[in-house]
Amino acid sequence: MTLSTAPLGAITISLTQQSLTLKRNGSADELFSISAAGNGAGEQNGSFCTPRGQHIIRAKIGKDSPTNTVFIGRRPSGEIYHPSLRAANPKRDWILTRILWLSGCEPGKNRLGSVDTMRRYVYIHGTPDDVEMGKPGSHGCIRMRNEDVIRLFDLVGVGTTVTIYE
């Protein structure tokens, strides 16, 4: 887990457009297609919704892990995702390749108590290649293509701001 890296730019996530934009300091914006929560927007613990508002990247996990590394509890499981692994574990929520762990910045909205984004384990993470992007479907996290989450991971640091809106 990486805990200290200088932030670069800012991230905005549109739940309506199912997109993530990286605004880089002095460089052109980069736009990525994502898949946020199938249950829509919401902050309550147990809702399986994507939390709105101001966040920061609290931790970066998975640096130099192979593409399709399977994470369980934020640790590499020793598995590399393959469709046959999904067939053997059909109910598993696949968290692959890299994790950017989010922490809310707004007490009572997405920080502390029953609305705490970090305690809800909300991440930006990789997902199997056959998962559709541009359409809600996650359990609350922000899913990205593996190649896209690797690029994003390499461009941002702990402390980078993340704004999630409808």
Domain ranges of the chain: 10-165
Supply the pLDDT for residue 37: 98
Supply the pLDDT for residue 166: 95
Is the CATH number of domain 10-165 2.40.440.10? yes
- Do 18 and 34 contact (CB within 8 A), yes or no? yes
The model's pTM: 0.94
Supply the pLDDT for residue 8: 66
Low pLDDT (below 70) residues in the chain: 1-8
- Dist CA 48 CA 1 (whole Å): 24
